[in-house]
Structure 1
Amino acid sequence: MSTMMNKVVGGSFIIEDTDFNQVVTPEDFTEEHRMIAQTTADFVEGEIVPRDEEIEKLNYELTVEKMRAAGELGLLGADVPEEYGGLGLDKVSSTLINEKLTKASAFALSIGAHVGIGTLPIVYFGTEEQKQKYLPLLATGEKIAAYCLTEPSSGSDALGAKTTATLSEDGEYYVLNGTKQFITNAGFADIFIVYAKVDGKDFSTFIVERSMDGVSIGPEEKKMGIKGSSTCQLILEDVKVPVENLLWEVGKGHLIAFNILNIGRFKLAAGCVGASKDTIELAAAYANERTQFGRKISSFPLIGKKLADMNTKAYVLESMVYRTAGLFDVGLAEVDHASSQVGYQSAKAIAEYQLECSINKVFGSEVLDFIVDEGVQIHGGYGFTQEYRIERNYRDSRINRIFEGTNEINRLLIPGALVKKAMKGQLPLMQKAMALQNELMEPIPNQIFEGTLEQEAHLLKMSKKIFLMCGAQAVQKYQMKLEEQQEILSNLADIMISVYAMESALLRTRKIIDRSGEDKARLAIRMTTVFIHDEFAKIEQWAKEVLAAMESGDTLRTQLSVLKKLIRKSPIDTIGIKREIAAEVIDAGAYVL
């Protein structure tokens, strides 16, 4: 499916237009994709849901048993090449598995940590011997993996790790000492991907086995949510790790860590798609059952508005996630797993979309938090009780804004990654900004929009210009000290996130119109319309904050008058449109497109 796509430069969406034929959408799923999704959904319904309460009580044996059952179905081997016992599926397939697993709550996290950040370091950076030794066992679930980066004193500052690795005098093994914190799957994992500094300075990666002397596990953390997943410390005391268990090369640990985190961020967003849809179904079903003042609460417009907003945001997130999966499929197709350069190739292919991964992670985690919060509100007092599942969805969601790099850190990474690409000559960012400055000196004529989504496409174009205007000014004003202006960077990141979200929804909807006609695309058109108008109002506010932070007086007034040219738009009846969206969600009693 996605092999026909052209390779896209990461971050280019902010300065270039994209053809809807060049994005992957859920409407592109093949029969094989649908079968994989159905297999995963059937596994969750048949194997996990009936044992849900036991898993939630942190039953190690049951969790491992069910993980192995998933392995037998191939659900643990989607990202593992066939020659190492996996299925070697495309990223769209593994994303679908990720999405469909989320109904399994904390169990989905146990699998996610195993197949993603636990297994992928060996897939992308392992030697042939390491792959032959470990991947077949990981693909079946015979061995369970965990990823060990965070330490008691280093969370967001991953490179501040204090765990050390010292090469033995005979050069046969490294001696590892240190403690890793908040390690998912630690209670029952067999294989740990551990980051340590060789000689206290060269950040490196090791494959550590649970059976090695000196490896011990701390007690389970008492967590707010995701209670059915294991989260413990990993304690390393003079652990002798054979030199052949060094992953890639000494001093390359940061490249492994950050690129695996990129994939982890993307997979987290895919999980947020599934959890969002699950929550909408819970909320819509409850709203259709609960009666107050002699009528179902779903008939009240304010409840309907909540369901409309929830469904719309889930549609946009789904559009973003599968668009990004398509980017990865094209980029990673060039990696030769038999090459001695596989580590460099993998790092380059994944790093290309670092910025999009952070965007997906921030948007996905915040959309899910919004959806579960509204879901609890729709349930009223019952939503605050453990009798209703929505309470657990609410608690389980909260970790996503912290996992895989906090949203604050990711917001700083987004514009930072863009500027680095521009400085390397990979994106003509400043050239576009200079051209825009000249354009903004000219009067912008009033426009009349008559065609479907024409005004929304215009607002997207203006949003990109607003970003360029504000971003270029920030770079010119602060230059090398821009990284100290975290509030400005965060606003610029938010504009970029909104642009990617708006564009993903617009491209998907246009693709649906092209294939099925406007009548079949009515709901998608409504959701895209209200989302873009709602986001555009936020972009205007963020831009004004950035400009006011940098200038004052006449200079600021001049800039605000330029901004005014870009933010002109005709208001739409968002209340009416959201009522139409709500009617469809209420009628379906679930997420609907």
Structure 2
Amino acid sequence: MNHETMSKVLGGSFVIEDGDYRSVVVPEDFTEEQRMIADTTVQFVEGEIVPRDEAIENLDYGLTVELLRKAGDLGLLGADVPEAYGGLGLDKVSTTLINEKLTKASSFALSFGAHVGIGTLPIVYFGTEAQKRKYLPELASGAKIAAYCLTEPSSGSDALGAKATAKLAEDGTHYVLNGTKQFITNAGFADIFIVYAKVDGKDFSTFIVEREMEGVSVGPEEKKMGIKGSSTCPLILEDVKVPAENLLWEVGKGHLIAFNILNIGRFKLAAGCVGTAKDAIELSAAYANERTQFGRSLSSFPLVGRKLAEMNIRTFVMESMVYRTAGLFDIGLAEVNYESPDVGYQSAKAIAEYQLECSINKVFASEALDFVADEGVQIHGGYGFTREYRIERIYRDSRINRIFEGTNEINRLLIPGALIKRAMKGELPLMEKALKLQAELMEPLPARSFEGTLEQETHLLAMAKKIFLMAGAQAVQKYQTKLDQEQEILAHLADMMIAIYAMESALFRTRKMIDRSGEDKARLAIQMTTAFVHDQFGLIASGAREVLSAMESGDTLRTQLSILKKLAKQPAVDLLHLKRSIAEQVVRAEKYVV
């Protein structure tokens, strides 16, 4: 797909507008070059990482660094780095594929991801020309390994509550940094640290700190539940003299760097969840076929089949969301001039455009993977609880994703918050659409009949957007500036938005598949989309009912619930046999299928 011919989509607009499915990037659009990059990653993982899995899991620093350098030799570490600085400068769809295909590498995938993503990208997007030329070639090759240092012992999700300080020396040549950073991935062997500290205790800023600088030390490894083969240590800074030219961007701009790099991190995390979910389905389907109980294969039992169907459906939706979002980034970041003096502002604006979608991907994917991993363990039964079977590791390792890059609770508050801020700035006509809807709801809804493929599901998506607008507008009107204190309501609104983006992503992808190959070849995608949309629509209606009931009572509430009932009218669908059919196809293929 040629991104240059595609128009830019406003972040968050999906909740109030009907997009064009033809302009959305889907996995079926991958170019030959992108597939080759994916194959290169798979070959690297299977040839270099999997045979050394046990040693990596035992936290062999030397081996991890050696393998990172081999990844650098293949160009994988420099995928996001512009060619001018020794990288490949690949599009976001390609780098997303690399992230997805690395997941069989378990803990190594985290070491890799922390280096190429949150460790290197701050310099790519916000570094000066001198900083890029000094650091990026070595980061792209693996000669130097990076780490990202934001979290502190007393401030987890409250990033701006950091206590680390930086003071400019009287002669202006360097800053003196003091403080402790907690849970730093790659800290045990990293050479370059992206460190956040407050200049004079107030201006949140970002610095490039080198391990060799006097006063830099690393604490002991954390004893973790999962991802045991990745290094996680505190970073201790004691009167560290950091050259003034190692300030990243400007004093006081650290929050823009931190939040936008976290946005990219959330998105990359979601891509990793896609790959791991596919692995879990393959392991579980194969085990269900091999294992016999009561004289028949486990996979022949409908309740086991239903688990495999649900696992496959959620992975299909997750994959559709992730590559749709990668396509959005490719269009937005294409406008950034990396040689411009104001590249920092350009980068921040381009990334922030889709901060809402990044949080949506992160929450949906981390929770979908937890569901898939949990059901995978259940299918394995007692064996799933033993370390002999890989599903046990997937289960343990998956749990961190709901905490990483801002907890899912924090992200749920960010999602509607970001939408409302965009509306207040006049960037999205949210309230105008809500007022128009209010007038529309006073009129009786016309009777509808659905005959074409996915017409019914497309209608449910449109109704879901109206339900969200109705509940969201009511919340904004009632609480106004105090809405941020109503966290349960914000979480419900976030869940509606997540469901809408997920439903629409699946619908758009399936419609593209139908256009390309016909309904017969898209039959499984049609089934999965139908099942998912009907399941989610019921949850959206239920969430809206709870939101409205929390805000109103008496006749006003009765009127609103009456309107909601009309919008939430949902035809019955035989989901039982639909999911049974999906299960049969997963069992037959013994892997994730589309």
Q: Under a length normalisation based on structure 1, what TM-score does the superposition of the two structures give?
A: 1.00
* AA matched with 2:489: I
In 2, are the aligned partners of 1:196 and 1:205 still within 8 Å (CA)?
A: yes
Partner residue in 1 for 2:538: 537
In the alignment, the residues of structure 1 paired with residue 545 and residue 39 of structure 2 have an alpha-carbon distance, to the nearest angstrom, of 47
1:4 Cα deviation after fit: 2.4
In the alignment, the residues of structure 2 paired with residue 139 and residue 459 of structure 1 have an alpha-carbon distance, to the nearest angstrom, of 46
C-alpha distance after superposition, 1:237-291 (max 9, x if no partner): 0000000000000000000000000000000000000000011001001001000
In 2, are the aligned partners of 1:195 and 1:206 still within 8 Å (CA)?
A: yes
1:511 Cα deviation after fit: 0.3
Question: What pairs with 1:287-436 in structure 2 (closer than 5 Å)?
Answer: 287-436=288-437
1:105 Cα deviation after fit: 0.4
* AA matched with 2:338: H
* AA matched with 1:148: C
* AA matched with 2:265: G
Question: What pairs with 1:143-542 in structure 2 (closer than 5 Å)?
Answer: 143-542=144-543
In 2, are the aligned partners of 1:192 and 1:207 still within 8 Å (CA)?
A: yes
In the alignment, the residues of structure 2 paired with residue 408 and residue 308 of structure 1 have an alpha-carbon distance, to the nearest angstrom, of 28
Secondary structure, counterpart of 1:24 in structure 2: coil
In the alignment, the residues of structure 2 paired with residue 45 and residue 4 of structure 1 have an alpha-carbon distance, to the nearest angstrom, of 37
* AA matched with 1:578: K
In 2, are the aligned partners of 1:3 and 1:329 still within 8 Å (CA)?
A: no
Partner residue in 2 for 1:575: 576
In the alignment, the residues of structure 2 paired with residue 462 and residue 456 of structure 1 have an alpha-carbon distance, to the nearest angstrom, of 10
In the alignment, the residues of structure 1 paired with residue 4 and residue 187 of structure 2 have an alpha-carbon distance, to the nearest angstrom, of 37
In 2, are the aligned partners of 1:106 and 1:226 still within 8 Å (CA)?
A: yes
1:5 Cα deviation after fit: 1.7
Partner residue in 2 for 1:27: 28
In the alignment, the residues of structure 2 paired with residue 353 and residue 509 of structure 1 have an alpha-carbon distance, to the nearest angstrom, of 23
Count of residue correspondences? 593
Partner residue in 1 for 2:555: 554
Overall identity of the aligned pairs, in %: 79
In the alignment, the residues of structure 2 paired with residue 167 and residue 118 of structure 1 have an alpha-carbon distance, to the nearest angstrom, of 24
Q: Runs of 4+ in structure 1 displaced over 3 angstroms?
A: none
C-alpha distance after superposition, 1:488-531 (max 9, x if no partner): 00000000000000000000000000110000000000000000
In the alignment, the residues of structure 2 paired with residue 40 and residue 104 of structure 1 have an alpha-carbon distance, to the nearest angstrom, of 10
* AA matched with 2:418: A
In the alignment, the residues of structure 2 paired with residue 162 and residue 237 of structure 1 have an alpha-carbon distance, to the nearest angstrom, of 13
Secondary structure, counterpart of 1:261 in structure 2: helix
In the alignment, the residues of structure 2 paired with residue 420 and residue 545 of structure 1 have an alpha-carbon distance, to the nearest angstrom, of 24
In structure 1, runs of 5+ residues without a counterpart are none
1:559 Cα deviation after fit: 0.5
In 2, are the aligned partners of 1:78 and 1:88 still within 8 Å (CA)?
A: yes
Partner residue in 2 for 1:75: 76
Secondary structure, counterpart of 1:259 in structure 2: helix
In the alignment, the residues of structure 2 paired with residue 148 and residue 39 of structure 1 have an alpha-carbon distance, to the nearest angstrom, of 30
C-alpha distance after superposition, 1:418-456 (max 9, x if no partner): 001101111000000000000000000221111100100
* AA matched with 1:324: T
In the alignment, the residues of structure 2 paired with residue 6 and residue 529 of structure 1 have an alpha-carbon distance, to the nearest angstrom, of 28
1:554 Cα deviation after fit: 1.3
* AA matched with 1:457: T
* AA matched with 2:196: Y
* AA matched with 1:147: Y
In the alignment, the residues of structure 2 paired with residue 103 and residue 70 of structure 1 have an alpha-carbon distance, to the nearest angstrom, of 15
In 2, are the aligned partners of 1:5 and 1:23 still within 8 Å (CA)?
A: no
In the alignment, the residues of structure 1 paired with residue 453 and residue 265 of structure 2 have an alpha-carbon distance, to the nearest angstrom, of 37
In the alignment, the residues of structure 1 paired with residue 320 and residue 499 of structure 2 have an alpha-carbon distance, to the nearest angstrom, of 13
Secondary structure, counterpart of 1:7 in structure 2: coil
1:193 Cα deviation after fit: 0.1
In the alignment, the residues of structure 2 paired with residue 20 and residue 499 of structure 1 have an alpha-carbon distance, to the nearest angstrom, of 14
* AA matched with 2:538: A
1:325 Cα deviation after fit: 0.2
In the alignment, the residues of structure 2 paired with residue 412 and residue 3 of structure 1 have an alpha-carbon distance, to the nearest angstrom, of 34
**CA-atom RMSD, angstroms?**
0.5
